[in-house]
Amino acid sequence: MADKYGRLDEFEEILNEIYREVPEEFYEGLNLGVVIDEEVNYHPKGQDGDLINLGAYQRGPLGRGIIIYYGSFMELFGFLQREALKEEVRKTFIHELTHHRESLAHYADLEVEDAEFLKSYEEAKKL
């Protein structure tokens, strides 16, 4: 697939830098690793494409992994210079890694926070 945004190599470098900032033990159990998806990922509950997923934590019968949506980042933050983009990627990566760590510890605080955000979004859209 051709990179229509022209920054995929830079994005991969940024994500690798952030990945190396985190101690190895935080990746325990993340057997599916961290994957970059080149597509924009629209949330199914979004209206008119106004709710975009930047990342996702997946867990299932095959294991646990993190997806970072390059296309989503370019859609929302493609205008940013490298360091500002890196900060946005870092926020999302740490968010998804927190889902992983909480899942291993049988906590759901971040899932609850995400659900509250979605509920707030849906209520605002009813206005």
Contact indicator for 57, 96 with CB cutoff of 8 Å: yes
Over range 60-86, report the average pLDDT. Answer: 97
pLDDT in tens, 24-45: 999 999 999 999 999 999 999 9
The pLDDT confidence band at residue 127, using thresholds 50, 70 and 90, is low
Looking at residue 4, its pLDDT comes to: 85
For all residues of the chain together, what is the average pLDDT?
A: 95
User: How many angstroms separate the Cα of 69 from the Cα of each of 34, 37, 125?
Assistant: 11, 5, 24
pTM of the model: 0.94
Quick one: what percent of the chain has pLDDT higher than 70?
98
